[in-house]
Every structure is written in C-alpha cells, then in structure tokens.
Structure 1
Amino acid sequence: MERKGIAVYCASSADIDKTYFATAREIGRGIALRGYDVVCGGGCMGLMAAVIDGALEAGGNAIGVLPRFMMERNWNHQGLSRTIVTESMHERKECMASLSCAAIALPGGVGTLDELFEIITWRQLGLYDGNVVILDDHGFYSPLLNHLQHTDEQHFMRHGSRTLWKVAETHEEALDLALTDNELIN
C-alpha cells in the first residue's frame, strides 16, 4: 500500500505578514525530511507556495490538488511533483483527505478555515482517522481556539470533542503531533 502524505491547509495570499512564510517553508521541509509527501491545494502564491518550495528544496514531493477553474487561471505551482485536477472544491477537499494520513492547518483565511472545520467534522463522524493539528504560529489561531473552548463550555460540542484536534506552537511540534498515534472519540 502506498504511504500517504500529510495535508497542509494554509493561505494562498501573498499579502500577509512575512513572518508566517518561514514556518510554512519549514513545514514543507519537515514533511519531506520525514519521508512523507506534502498534499496541498497546489497554489503558486502565499504560504501554500512556501510549503511546496520547502518540500521540494528538501528533495521531497508536493502533490497539488486544484479544481479545474484554478488550473484554467494558472494558479498552480509550476514545480509540483504531481497535479490532480478536480471538478469542484468539495472534490478537492475529499481528494486531499484521501491522500493524507494527517492534516496540519497553518494560518489562512476562510478557505483554510473551511478545510480545517470540514476535516475536524469528518474526524468526528469517523470519516477521517488522521490527526488534525492546528499550528498556532505567532498566536494566529488563539482567538479561534478561545472560541472553540467557549463553544465547548456552552455544550455546543459533544463531550470530548476537543480531542478531535491538537494544537502546536512550532513546526516541529506540529509534525510530531501529526504523526503520533491518535485517539478518536466515539
């Protein structure tokens, strides 16, 4: 059986604080050095490009999954080891999940949040059994994590739901958490 990669969800915007780019590149590099493929949205800009570049620089592979409309707009990274074209955003997320044994969310906008919440939901429903890691780079996700705690305290989540994801503060910790044995709630 083919070894699965690690999905990375992150910003495709290049108009963000440059402090986030080093961590993104290190995530890509770290995934490659641990012998896994990067599985991502395959974009040519922002943190997504930095993750891909980091993996490729370390001699690894980067699999990009892009909907056809993104390919038609030439939004794909030209150095991808493999490009998979889907017909929809939903198929893109489903494909990325199927190719991965874990998922790491770096800082990003609504697309990243959509991917993060969908994979957490799939994990809760037993549709995805890989670890989900939120990399709280420079405190980016702190407000969201506070809101998730509030949601849990107000009983809008099932008891134990906060075990559906893990939180890391560094790229090394994120990789370690992504690849540790996981415990799913039932």
Structure 2
Amino acid sequence: MNCNNELLSGVVVYCASSSDIDPRYLNTARRMGELIAGAGLSLVCGGGAGGMMATAIEGALDAGGEAVGVLPHFMMEKKWNHPRLTRCIDTESMHHRKMTMASMARAAVALPGGIGTLDELAEIMTWNQLGLFRGPVIIVNTDGFYDLLIALFESMQSKGFMRGGRIPAVVVSTPEEAIEVINNIEK
C-alpha cells in the first residue's frame, strides 16, 4: 500500500450500493461526489451501478470530475459496474479491491451504508491505526446515521481498546465538512 498520501489525488468513498433507501442519503452521496470533483480530486469507490455508489459517481462526473471504480472480477462478470466510470479496475478479490482503493487515496470517507460499508470502514480505521493508511478517515454522520456506532467507538476508547486512546476517524455531519478536512491535508 502506498503510504505517501501527499502524492495521491483520490478520495475513496465507502457507501451503500442499495437503491431502496431514503433520498436524503442519495443526496449526501451526490454532494460528496460533486465536492470531490470540485476540489480537483478523483472519486475512488467500489464502482457499482446502484444506490449511493452510483449517485456519488454521477455527482462527480456531472461536476466535471473523474470516477474510478474498483470491482472484483466476479462483480465485473455480473456487470455490476457503473457504465459511466472514467476508469474501471478489475481485481482478483474483495480484499485486493479494498487494498487497491486505499492505495489510490489521500483520504477515506464513509457515508451511510450497510455491512459492506461497515467492513470497509473498520478495515481502513485499522490500517490507519497501524500506519498503513496515513490519510484521514472521515465518517459522514448524515442525520445521526452512525450515532450508535460512534457510541460503541467511544465505549471502546474509554475502556482502553483504541490504540493511542483515540478513535481513528474524524466524525462530521455533512459532505461539506468532510471536504474541508480533506482540503486541509498537508501537501
């Protein structure tokens, strides 16, 4: 994994691929894509054709930016990739997918999502704790979506289970706050 994040121009976004969700979450994803493009960065994601993932891709592309999708081969065979991706990377496994996305990113953003998003968030937070991923990990807590998870993290922290006594993520409420954190990364 590339730990030299100042040379990277991507922001990896983890979010739901489900389309059967409240439109406010889709709006959050679209806005995140727009803001990443507006900052001159590339959106890096799982590349799916549905849900928040598709909406983030479309937000970035419609704002004149780039969207890089990283999908394991079995998903490519099922044609789950978004048709408008600027670039599509075919990987051998889910694990390789996550490593590839992180290696392209200067920051990681978790929007609301399901178990896949939670898996990606937990792994990138672990990599951050271990120094394998040096960019910020940002949780966008849209309308309190992550409140219970944040409470669990705070419990882990207070009981000494978080290395260094800190939660390895920045919690924000909006995509605008997330892009502000990203824009403040030392270059």
Relative to the length of structure 1, the TM-score reads 0.94
| Secondary structure of 1:69 counterpart | helix
- Corresponding residue of 1:174: 178
- Corresponding residue of 1:28: 33
- Corresponding residue of 2:157: 152
For residue 143 of structure 1, the aligned residue among 125, 148, 156 is 148
Q: Distance in 1 between matches of 2:81 and 2:89?
A: 10
2:39·2:183 contact (CA, 8 Å) conserved in 1?
A: no
For residue 169 of structure 2, the aligned residue among 165, 169, 174 is 165
List runs of 5+ in structure 1 lacking aligned partners.
none
Higher alpha-carbon deviation: 106-115 or 152-161: 152-161
Higher alpha-carbon deviation: 1-10 or 87-96: 1-10
- Corresponding residue of 1:121: 126
| 1:96 and 2:89 correspond | no
2:31·2:56 contact (CA, 8 Å) conserved in 1?
A: yes
1:13·1:46 contact (CA, 8 Å) conserved in 2?
A: yes
Q: Distance in 2 between matches of 1:159 and 1:2?
A: 27
Q: Distance in 1 between matches of 2:185 and 2:89?
A: 29
After TM superposition, the structure 1 = structure 2 runs for residues 10-49 of structure 1, keeping only pairs within 5 Å, are 10-49=15-54
Q: How far off is 1:172 after superposition?
A: 0.4
- Corresponding residue of 1:75: 80
1:28-53 CA-to-partner distances (Å, cap 9, x unmatched) read 00000100000000000000000000
Q: Distance in 2 between matches of 1:57 and 1:86?
A: 26
Higher alpha-carbon deviation: 108-117 or 151-160: 151-160
Relative to the length of structure 2, the TM-score reads 0.93
Q: Counterpart amino acid of 2:119?
A: D
Higher alpha-carbon deviation: 10-19 or 47-56: 10-19
Which contiguous aligned blocks of 4+ residues in structure 1 show a shift greater than 4 angstroms? Answer: none
1:132·1:178 contact (CA, 8 Å) conserved in 2?
A: no
1:58-114 CA-to-partner distances (Å, cap 9, x unmatched) read 010000000000011111000000000000000000000000000100000111011
| CA shift in 2, pair 1:174/1:99, >3 Å | same
- Corresponding residue of 2:92: 87
Give the share of equivalent positions with the same residue, in percent.
52
Q: How far off is 1:159 after superposition?
A: 3.3
- Corresponding residue of 2:62: 57
Q: Distance in 1 between matches of 2:35 and 2:185?
A: 18
